[in-house]
Structure 1
Amino acid sequence: MKTKLMTAALTLVVMASVSACGSKTEEAPAKASVQPSAAAAATPKAEPATPVKLRIAWWGAQERHDATQKALTQYTALHPNVTFESEFSGWDGYFDKLGVQFAAKNAPDIIQMDAAYLNEYVGRNLVADLASINVADMDKALIESGKVNGKLFAMPLGTAALGMAYDKTVIEKLGLKAPAWDWTWDDYYKFGQDAKAKLGKDKYVFVDQSSDLVDYTAYQLSRGKGQSFTDNKLSIDKDTWITYMNKQSEMRKAGIVTPADITVTDKELDPKMDSVVNGTALARHIFSNQVGAINGLKPDSFGFTTLPKATQTGGWLKPGMFWSVNAGSKQQEEAKKFVDWFINDQEAGKTLSLTRGIPGNAKIVTTLAPNFSASDKTSVDFINKVGPAAQKFVAEPQGWGNFKKDYKTIVEKVMFDKATADQAYEELMKKAKEYDTAVKK
């Protein structure tokens, strides 16, 4: 129900904002007349003289890094005593590093959080309650996604939809028909065969992302077999999983998906190592909040579509990411003031745009809409295409934060022909029992 409300509310905001681009739109007030949140409004006059350094960590591509750094500079201009020490990287290894930092009691004050890890971090009392932050203009259902047991521990920064990006320039050269927004798995497999026949050797149609639990979850959902997690336990349907993995192996042998040695070196949104960006493959899964990033790496090259469907759709809307505040930070209140500013300030909204998804603050979206770039409009279109039939988003339960890594390791054995799909499934179930046992302790 929560996801349906979020979908409906977000679609209304996005559609209203985009339609306003073609009509008379109320201009955002000048900065001096913007009414900030209560905490932000009080800050300029009540600014303490004591210097404050906030460590802040996030993952993302260059577009997000640049926008975030600019926003930090803006905040320091407003609050000269507050400076930042930034720690940014790609997704790979981000939570591994964060885990080490928390274990050493040396984690940043503000951390970008993912829904897959939120329950885990709250359960270990690592992140602070954000109840003091003004969320009056935020989508209420979206705010609920950052709550655990009724308390807000993660501030959602935007909404994203799961779909696919493909190199439209190569598809046009090959004389192929681009994937439709509502394509099916049968369409997907046929497209793979047709494209491979024209691509030839050493070029592939899809990046093999079968070791990412996200991809399999979308497949299982589309087959009407439910989520990968149900009632805080792994809920992978055996027959569906084995069928999916065997089909992936079949495509791997046919050269339709990338071979194992290329797959394990692929780095999403890396200028050199992303297999779609460097021309090794035609398509990969992507979230709508990554549209601007991939377009920036290879301008005017990409088209976008939904994930394939079967008896139903497999895609979902999810909070793109969150800000959480380290519960052990000595600068908690200053960190919360920054988060408040980040989600509510109009100038911050303009700087950050859609780099973390469609903002949850309706006033920010309305301000941004008249100046949406082509990539922004594509991101909005992405949301509107996926939204109406979106599946419910389910985050990993507490205690399962590292399961995706184990899943990846096990599936890579299938990729390298070190295990059959049946053997890998049995190993997966043994690993799941280990997690169940650990959670119950």
Structure 2
Amino acid sequence: MKKKQLMAGVMAAGMAMSLAACGGSTSTAASTTESTAASTDAASAAEGDITLRFAWWGGDERANATLEVIKQFEAANPNIHIEAEYGSSDGYHDKLATQLASGTAADIVQIDPETMPAFVATGDYFLNYMDYDFDLSNFEESYISQRVNGRFDGKQLGLPTGIAGPALVVNKELADKYGIDFSQPYTWDQLIEWGKQVHEADPDTYLLCTNKEYITNLVFFNTMKQMTGKTLFDADTKAANFTQEDIEKSLDIVKALYDNNVCAPASYSSAYSNDDLQSDPNWIAGKYVCSFAYISTMNVMTAANPNATYITGTLPIMDGAKNDGWSCNCPQVLAVTSTCKNPEAAMKFMDYFFNSDEAESTLACVRSVPPTEKARTICEKDGTLDAGMMEAANIVSAMNGVSNDKYSSAPESKQIMVDTIEAVGYGTTDPASAAADMFKQLSNYISAQ
């Protein structure tokens, strides 16, 4: 079953959904203290008590819902205790990589689907859900069988927490004010023209709220895929699917965003890096017409300015594109680590997390649109199936983009792109010089893999 077929059930549910908000938050919860002492674990297991560690990143709403599910599970399973380790996404995967290598990772971990292939290629770090008493029947096989959703060489090493992908959050009042219609197809050139129009009309207002990380992930990656019709690297052969000229053309678009005041200056947006766009005072004050986002974080953006009315827009595609670029995927996967001393208990919790009615109702959309039709039906009945997130999922699922490959998504190559885009944004280099440097650095990186 193709991706569009997968979303058919999602779209049907979306036709009757409520407008109630259901995901994200405006702040990040504090991390709890890790407890990894092997002797304590052994003693507890001998006494019949089991302690599991569960690590994830996310905001307050995700944390609160997840903690409530833990509480529910512990009430029904008093001998199993789950220690929550949660915080922001900053440095999460670097820390996790170190923990996996040293055997000190939590028993259950949340992982970015683009990062997981690198972990799988590095070591035997995760257990196969299929080897345990876990009910996979609520998941569509066509969805969970994709590598981006946790299936590697016939093993289900992770499970998707939702249906996700990129999104465009639009301040409806501002879009109407400037006569911009994001519901119709448009190009990057049109986006730039709209940006010029907005800033010329009001120098305090910009079309697009973004930063160097979002420009890398949602502008650079997608314009490159639209030009080439492929991922940056071939996942099997490691061959580059791009030329230096392709990079320069993409960086020309990046430069145009800054030069034409489509977005705020790089020096300004640097204060709101990574997933901190919602903290930008100008976004909160309604000084941006729209923002790129992810389906799983849309409500983080909308909650930051409750005085505005937000709608979901479609996504830009360049003239003559060989591929739409934009693709539907999952926001995170949850995996049980191979160092878990009580895998049956961990799988029991995962089964509750993904399959119980109570957990699905509690989690709602805090990790994006729920991954199973059963969960979506429960959220629709509860009035927590968010309209904006649902529409964004429908928009991106109708596109024919390809998911990023494991090499271009790796931290090393991603940092090369971010640094280059930052330099272009600051104007310390031009697209041609930057493209030559990026091409050389990416060539050196892939040759070492």
Which TM-score applies when normalising by structure 1? 0.83
Distance 1:161 1:5 in 2: 16
Letter in 1 for 2:72: Q
Q: Are the structure 2 counterparts of residues 276 and 178 from structure 1 closer, same or farther at C-alpha, using a change threshold of 3 Å?
A: farther
Letter in 2 for 1:96: D
Give % identity: 20
Q: Counterpart of 1:107?
A: 105
Distance 1:399 1:270 in 2: 21
Query: Which deviations, in whole Å up to 9, do the C-alpha atoms of 1:320-354 show, x marking residues without a partner?
Result: 21101122222333222211211111111111112
Distance 2:48 2:267 in 1: 53
Kept in 1: contact 2:207–2:262 (CA 8 A):
yes
Distance 2:356 2:153 in 1: 28
Kept in 2: contact 1:59–1:88 (CA 8 A):
yes
Q: Counterpart of 2:114?
A: 116
Match of residue 294, structure 1, among 289, 301, 306: 301
Match of residue 14, structure 1, among 10, 14, 20: 10
Match of residue 308, structure 1, among 312, 316, 322: 316
Q: Counterpart of 2:2?
A: 5
Q: Counterpart of 2:127?
A: 128
Letter in 1 for 2:290: A
Distance 1:359 1:16 in 2: 14
Which stretch has the larger CA shift, 293-302 or 59-68? 293-302
Letter in 2 for 1:135: L
1:38-437 equivalences under 5 Å are: 50-124=48-122, 125-131=124-130, 132=132, 133-145=134-146, 146-172=150-176, 174-201=177-204, 205-209=208-212, 211-223=215-227, 225-232=229-236, 233=238, 234-267=240-273, 268-269=275-276, 271-273=278-280, 276-277=283-284, 279=286, 281-299=288-306, 300-310=308-318, 311-312=320-321, 313-373=324-384, 376-397=386-407, 400-437=410-447
Query: Which deviations, in whole Å up to 9, do the C-alpha atoms of 1:336-378 show, x marking residues without a partner?
Result: 22112111111111111122222222222222223334x7122
Q: Are the structure 2 counterparts of residues 8 and 360 from structure 1 closer, same or farther at C-alpha, using a change threshold of 3 Å?
A: same
Q: Indicate the RMSD between aligned Cα atoms, in angstroms.
A: 2.8
Q: Secondary structure at the match of 1:194?
A: helix
Query: Which deviations, in whole Å up to 9, do the C-alpha atoms of 1:380-433 show, x marking residues without a partner?
Result: 122222222332324414993542123212322222233322232233233323
Kept in 2: contact 1:116–1:401 (CA 8 A):
no
Q: Secondary structure at the match of 1:283?
A: strand
Offset at residue 273 of structure 1 (A): 4.3
Letter in 1 for 2:182: P
Aligned residues: 409
Offset at residue 270 of structure 1 (A): 5.9
Q: Secondary structure at the match of 1:309?
A: coil
Distance 1:62 1:75 in 2: 20
Which stretch has the larger CA shift, 276-285 or 134-143? 276-285
Kept in 1: contact 2:161–2:331 (CA 8 A):
yes
Distance 1:282 1:396 in 2: 33
Kept in 2: contact 1:269–1:277 (CA 8 A):
no
Q: Secondary structure at the match of 2:104?
A: coil
Kept in 1: contact 2:53–2:106 (CA 8 A):
yes
Letter in 2 for 1:144: S
Query: Which deviations, in whole Å up to 9, do the C-alpha atoms of 1:77-97 show, x marking residues without a partner?
Result: 221222222222233322122
Which TM-score applies when normalising by structure 2? 0.82
Q: Are the structure 2 counterparts of residues 272 and 384 from structure 1 closer, same or farther at C-alpha, using a change threshold of 3 Å?
A: closer
Q: Secondary structure at the match of 2:78?
A: coil
Distance 1:57 1:274 in 2: 31
Kept in 1: contact 2:354–2:360 (CA 8 A):
yes
Structure 2 unaligned runs (5+)? Answer: 19-44
